[in-house]
Amino acid sequence: MYDLKDIVEMKKPHACQTNRWEIIRMGADIKIKCLACGQMVMMPRREFEKKMKKILEKSNPE
């Protein structure tokens, strides 16, 4: 399962041609940030789970 600060890959690349996103907010909605251009996108959790392909890097448990 994904967690805050994880790096995920989405099914479709961003307009800047990068497919790496960092999860920066979790709740009923998920906010992700593009690691290439810094643009942020917020979407409902259900839509995020449908569009996410895989977790690339897990955050460090602190």
Q: Does position 62 have pLDDT exceeding 70, yes or no?
A: no
pLDDT (tens digit per residue) in 26-39: 999 999 999 999 99
What are 7's strand-pairing partners? 22, 57
Question: Where is 46: in which H helix or E strand?
Answer: helix 45-51
pTM over 0.85: yes
pLDDT at position 61 is 67
What is the C-alpha separation between 60 and 11, in angstroms, rounded?
Answer: 24
Residues 6, 53 contacting (CB under 8 angstroms) = no
- The average pLDDT across 14-20 equals 93
Q: What residues does each domain of the chain span?
A: 7-57
pLDDT higher than threshold 90 for residue 60: no
